[in-house]
Structure 1
Amino acid sequence: MDGSSNLDSHVGSHSGVATDTSGLTHHFPEAARIEFIGQTALDEFNDDRFATERQTNLYYPMANRNEWQLASWLLNSDLSMSQIDEYLKLELIFETAARTTRVYDSWLLSDRAWRLQSELPPGRTLLGTILSSDKTNISIMVRNRCAHPLLISLANIKTKMLSKAGHYLLQLLALLPIPVFQKKSQDVWGILENQLFHQSLDIVLRPLKVAASIGHLMADPVGQVRRCHTPCATWIVDTPEASLISCVGGGGKTSPYTTAIYKDYGNSFRHPTQTGNSTLAMIDQLTARADPNNIRTFLQWARKGRMNGVINPCWRNWPSSDPGEFLLPEILHYWHKFFFDHDMQWCINVVGAEEIDFWYSLITKKQGFCSFPEGISQLRRCPCSVSS
């Protein structure tokens, strides 16, 4: 046996197979014994729980070959996952068999909208009016200037469209006058400014009041003409402006939404709503006790009744428009800013600025959420971008 034969014999002995010089193969006894017959990958694929479905549909879980081709094209295309999600996104309908949970997607789904529609004659169209006003200091282009814009929109527009500022669905209706007084009797400035505010709105809102009362023929984008009614659905304002519109006074010590005063703010129950009828009844009582033309005397009685001195509120003759219904707390001031001004400051005082900043710095940054790697104790304001 030569060297090559010795090498073949050496290799064969390690593989369980020995080869002699005559070319015959000898198997090593009891080597590589088969324990049992298992399943291949194809067997496992054919034996899964969806095997019966593929007997009639080769492309399961796709419905057919067309759906499979679409899925294959999307996965092999250059589209991002967000673009694919947008393409495949279905309309979500939240509904249970028992229908125990009610979903609010717009103002038209509220009980008030349905009640107002039921009060209209058959065939009429309800157009909820959205107003927004806020006295604003202008400091970018001019100095020491102030503007009081009144904006208008429509509650019938879908909430998703209405909430996007880029769609410009809030249009300027009027610039309300801001008086400048020359005399130094500052005690009557406030009541005169309040009365001017409501008198101006009385003029601006007159067409809406007429349309809310008798209806107005309007055409939709496709030319269909309907008789529409325009009550006030909501008025977006901050707390000082809400007090001005609801005609309550007290310098912030009286709620514009309920009958509560500052001594009642800690109560565990909700006080009755400050309705338009109750406000008008209080105004009638004040005018019976003092002459509204005598500003100083009437102002004293108004302060006792926690009113701001307005005798003709702009909403008094607006059908189906009650400040107890259209003045609602808005998210920025009553949720986010309230948390920033009170709850967050309370937590900082309890835990300590260094401790709470340390824990905020440990939070992992997530896409779509604000992060505060330096903490929150040094924040001085809460802009909308942070609140969202």
Structure 2
Amino acid sequence: MILFPDTPDNTHLIQYCDVLSAIRTLLGNSAHAENIVYRPKKAHLPSGAALVPVIIATDKTQLMQFSNSKSAYPVYLTLGNIPRVIRHKPSQHACILIAYLSVNKVMGSQLTAKEKSSRVQCLFHESMRIILKPLKKAGIEEINITGGDGAVRRVHPVLACYVKNNV
């Protein structure tokens, strides 16, 4: 839950799963084992390590309604190691739902329109900070992941791209 001190009754729920588990699931998918790219073009990583570019996307067209008239936008994760032709086909399961971002109204009777807009931005950034926090350490220190081919690899997952879909 995220809340602002001056409106403690106006809570904003964040529902999310572990981002590193989502990465393990995508890299461990045997259906993609032959297509996943582990060799970086230009990167200064330890010998044998691979870069995992993390792509995050939100989709306002997929607004979800929950109980108590709460609404949320889904957040999806995919990886740059998976070729684009596979990532863009829903039937390939190369994208994982990792979170729902609260879109409840920001309350505060004394707030101007600009202050409310600022709070919405703060809410988004704080939510994403919480959801993606595990990436920071994993990107620096690396993690071991078993690929779909069964090989264990040392990888450095890093946030590479955020895509906002407003269709």
TM-score, length of structure 1 as denominator length: 0.29
Q: Are the aligned partners of 2:54 and 2:78 in contact in 1 as well (CA < 8 Å)?
A: yes
Aligned twin of 1:189: 116
Structure-to-structure mapping, 1:56-71, within 5 angstroms:
none
Q: Provide Cα deviations, 1:2-53, integer angstroms capped at 9, x if missing partner.
A: xxxxxxxxxxxxxxxxxxxxxxxxxxxxxxxxxxxxxxxxxxxxxxxxxxxx
Amino acid across the alignment from 1:159: R
Larger Rg: 1
| Shift, 1:146, TM fit | 3.6
Amino acid across the alignment from 1:125: A
| Shift, 1:150, TM fit | 0.9
Q: Provide Cα deviations, 1:352-381, integer angstroms capped at 9, x if missing partner.
A: xxxxxxxxxxxxxxxxxxxxxxxxxxxxxx
Aligned twin of 1:216: 143
Instruction: For 2:85 and 2:62, locate their aligned partners in 1 and report how far apart those are by CA, in whole Å.
Output: 30
Instruction: For 1:199 and 1:140, locate their aligned partners in 2 and report how far apart those are by CA, in whole Å.
Output: 21
Distance 1:182 1:157, change over 3 A: closer
Amino acid across the alignment from 2:139: A
Q: Are the aligned partners of 1:133 and 1:150 in contact in 2 as well (CA < 8 Å)?
A: yes
Aligned twin of 2:46: 121
Q: Are the aligned partners of 1:176 and 1:200 in contact in 2 as well (CA < 8 Å)?
A: yes
Identity of aligned residues (%): 26
Q: Are the aligned partners of 1:138 and 1:145 in contact in 2 as well (CA < 8 Å)?
A: no
Aligned twin of 1:200: 127
Aligned twin of 1:134: 59
Match of 2:72 among 116, 131, 147: 147
Instruction: For 2:90 and 2:75, locate their aligned partners in 1 and report how far apart those are by CA, in whole Å.
Output: 16
Structure-to-structure mapping, 1:243-254, within 5 angstroms:
none
Structure 2 counterpart SS, 1:206: helix
**Aligned residue pair count:** 127
Q: Are the aligned partners of 1:128 and 1:156 in contact in 2 as well (CA < 8 Å)?
A: yes
Q: Are the aligned partners of 2:65 and 2:71 in contact in 1 as well (CA < 8 Å)?
A: no
Distance 1:196 1:126, change over 3 A: same
Distance 1:136 1:162, change over 3 A: closer
RMSD: 2.9
Distance 1:219 1:139, change over 3 A: closer
Instruction: For 1:139 and 1:198, locate their aligned partners in 2 and report how far apart those are by CA, in whole Å.
Output: 20
Distance 1:223 1:133, change over 3 A: same
Aligned twin of 1:225: 152
**Which fold has the larger relative contact order, with Cα–Cα distance below 8 Å and residues 6 or more apart in sequence?**
2
Identify unmatched segments of 5+ residues in structure 2. Answer: 1-34
Q: Are the aligned partners of 1:137 and 1:145 in contact in 2 as well (CA < 8 Å)?
A: no
| Shift, 1:174, TM fit | 0.8
Amino acid across the alignment from 1:230: P
Instruction: For 1:217 and 1:199, locate their aligned partners in 2 and report how far apart those are by CA, in whole Å.
Output: 28
Q: Provide Cα deviations, 1:282-304, integer angstroms capped at 9, x if missing partner.
A: xxxxxxxxxxxxxxxxxxxxxxx
Q: Are the aligned partners of 2:64 and 2:74 in contact in 1 as well (CA < 8 Å)?
A: no
Q: Given the alignment of the two structures, is residue 235 of structure 1 paired with residue 162 of structure 2, yes or no?
A: yes
| Shift, 1:189, TM fit | 0.9
| Shift, 1:199, TM fit | 1.1
Q: Provide Cα deviations, 1:245-290, integer angstroms capped at 9, x if missing partner.
A: xxxxxxxxxxxxxxxxxxxxxxxxxxxxxxxxxxxxxxxxxxxxxx
Instruction: For 2:131 and 2:151, locate their aligned partners in 1 and report how far apart those are by CA, in whole Å.
Output: 27
Aligned twin of 2:98: 173
| Shift, 1:156, TM fit | 1.1
Distance 1:156 1:233, change over 3 A: same
Distance 1:138 1:207, change over 3 A: closer
Aligned twin of 1:42: none
Structure-to-structure mapping, 1:376-387, within 5 angstroms:
none
Amino acid across the alignment from 2:145: M
Instruction: For 1:124 and 1:161, locate their aligned partners in 2 and report how far apart those are by CA, in whole Å.
Output: 23
Q: Which structure shows the bigger proportion of residues in helix conformation?
A: 1
Aligned twin of 2:86: 161
Instruction: For 2:89 and 2:52, locate their aligned partners in 1 and report how far apart those are by CA, in whole Å.
Output: 20
